Chains A and B, each alone.
Chain A
Amino acid sequence: MLALMVSVLFVCQSCELKDLQRAVELAKEGDRIVVKGGTYRGPILINKRVELFGENSPVIDGEGKHQAITVKADGVRIEGFVIRNSGMSYSEDIAGLKVSSSKNCIIRNNEFLNNFFALYLGGASGCLVEGNRIIGSAKSEGSSGNGIHAWNSEKLTIRNNYIRGHRDGIYFEFVKDSTIEGNRSEYNLRYGLHFMFSNDDAYRKNYFYKNGAGVAVMYSKNITMEENTFEKNEGPANYGLLLKDITDSRLYRNRFINNTHGVYLEGCNRTEFKENLFEGNGWAVRIYANSEDNFFAKNIFLNNAFDVSTNTLSYFRNTFEGNYYDKYEGYDLDRDGYGDIPYRPVSFTGVLLEKYPLLSLFYDSLLLRLLDYVERLIPFLNPEALLDKKPLTRKP
């Protein structure tokens, strides 16, 4: 019965139907179109609920001029295609695949090559983007687009994709109630992941490696960040994770490894950092004075040049409690697992460098180490409030 209502159309070079756009026109709502291997020219417009399946990776080519596929209908499914060579424009957002104002699309196991924007979701809702391989060839920030770009959307799931060589790997603007999970985003020109004005989202188990400026989460509320890895984001204005104007968010069990800045907080309020690992960073945590009521517990600090650094000496309203610092030299006589003397995660050198960045020339010199040592014996400069009263004595 169902087979009678939903028919399957085949498109291939030797079939009756050779043109994909024609197949879409012939199809009824809910039909399935199976596309065999070969190259098909864009632009293709999908304006009804159809399922497109690619067999043997058929290529849809924008020929450097057009948007390869545009979806303007609900419930569209696109699987197994190679989408390449979209046009480039300074005035329009041309994409390899653009989904606009539609619900419940599924975009799975496609390969996006050499597009301006690879996948563009505008006004989408309930879409699933899974297992795609997105590879761009971005040369400069101005002339390149984002890998997965979502704008004004909700309830998206972006899972297990691989993104490389775009401007931002994944970009969210006005997107809510969405999940980003298990993606790998690397070698992008700007940010591996970029959030703007997007509330109530979560990203988990992603891997961000060597992006131009790391990962940025800005002007958003209620974001959950869990078990992500931020690695090797190096450079003076480069951050493992940049948090700007973020409130009521959570960072649990993330790993920050070998970044210039592990986490950089600017105007970040009421956010919890728990069980994160900071290893081998220049500045593990750098907090601007306009960040308040953040809570750090059970984090591990290993081999960082500076564990915590801040530009305020008097007004500091964040709490550090029960973290592990490899630089802690105290003792634990009552054997409760917490050191008996408090730890000051901000070093004197850190304060000096914050004020006079030139002094980075003397990092690790005998002079600065002596000053640090003296400051630890007779504290005179540290922000009084920045104190971990219960530093862990053993690595959790």
Chain B
Amino acid sequence: MLFKLIKYELYDLLKSRWIVGIFIFYLLVFYILLEFGRELRKSLLSLGNVSLLTIPLFSLLLSALYAYHNRNFIEFVLTQPLKRSHLFVSLFLSLSLSVMLAYFISSFLVFYYFFGVNFSFIKFSILILSLIPLFVSIGMFCAFLVEDRLRGIGLSLLLWFAFCILYDTFLLYMAVAFSDYPIEKPLLLLTLLNPIDLLRLSFLVDAGLYEFIGSIGRPLLVYLKKWWFLPSLCSLFYTLIFYALGFRVFKGKDM
């Protein structure tokens, strides 16, 4: 039954305008980026920058909108004799898979066209793709938490903004305000707590750029070079938390 659900939802999603839009968006953007910067190391860095910004946004918006949009479908399925958890899992998996597929295929096609198969790209993909389930789970959490559609989408946009900019702004303010105190370690820790910052730093480390400019946390960040998949595990951990939260809300919901 679970697989049947996933199959229908995935089928529905993959032919939706959203997924096609995401696919074409990345195809075009990556093509332009790689066309201009033919150097592998730098190209990956700029692909990373674009992805770090857009992937969370798309995943959040798509999952929240999908949950609101298919409210009738969800309520209908719930009248059938099947577990709520199955429905929730199927929604989560099909949303994540569809975005992952769209992103991976488009980026792979462009990348393959310019550089062929390459381990750095696989590394890069594993890191970036791990963000999708995280933000899908956050989007679903928002959608089931807030009844009103507009406010729900507002909340998810706010969260995106918080992850991408507000959090850094807060830390930047902290670094400036407490610059007379030894705050290297707490600051580094707080920075690494944000999955987007963590990924950004690991791309910089991977591109060898951080060695040039960063003096703080260098020994720690060297680990990111060795254990390059750590950020993915970290995203997975957050995904589990938001998934559990979302499921709690979904289970207790009167529908």
Contact = CB atoms under 8 A, between A and B. Distances in A.
A212 to B, nearest CB: 15
Nearest to A349: B213
Contacts, number: 82
Given A303-B42, A356-B176, A363 B214 contact: yes
Given A236-B215, A305-B209, A356-B179, A361 B187 contact: yes
Contact of A367 (B49, B172, B209): B172
Contact of A362 (B53, B172, B209): B172
B201 A361 contact: yes
Residue in B169, B179, B212, B217 whose Cβ sees the most chain A Cβ within 10 Å: B212
A358 B49 contact: no
Interface residues of B, number: 33
B57 to A, nearest CB: 11
Nearest to B192: A361
Given A364-B204, A365-B168, A359 B212 contact: no
A367 B179 contact: no
Interface string B174-209: 011001000110011001000001001100100001
B203 to A, nearest CB: 8
A281 interface: yes
B216 interface: yes
B171 interface: yes
Nearest to A234: B211
Interface residues of A, number: 28
A367 B212 contact: no
A367 B191 contact: no
B91 interface: no
B212 A305 contact: yes
Contacts of B164: 366
A355 B188 CA distance: 18
Contacts of B204: 363-364
A283 B210 CA distance: 12
Nearest to B217: A361
Interface in B120-157: none
A365 B45 CA distance: 12
A358 B179 contact: yes
A366 B49 CA distance: 8
Contacts of B53: 366
B216 A305 contact: no
Nearest to B211: A234
B236 to A, nearest CB: 23
Contacts of A283: 212-213
Given A358-B183, A364-B200, A364-B204, A260 B172 contact: no
Given A303-B42, A305-B209, A364-B204, A358 B216 contact: yes
12 contacts: A234-B212, A236-B215, A358-B175, A361-B188, A361-B197, A361-B201, A362-B172, A363-B204, A363-B209, A364-B49, A366-B53, A367-B172
Interface of A: 234-236, 258-260, 281-283, 303, 305-306, 353, 355-368, 370
The 4 closest A-B pairs by CB, nearest first: A282-B212, A236-B215, A367-B168, A360-B214
Given A235-B211, A361-B217, A364-B45, 7 more contacts: A259-B212, A356-B176, A361-B214, A363-B213, A363-B214, A366-B164, A368-B168
Interface of B: 42, 45, 49, 52-53, 164-165, 168-169, 171-172, 175-176, 179, 183-184, 187-188, 191, 197, 200-201, 204, 209-218
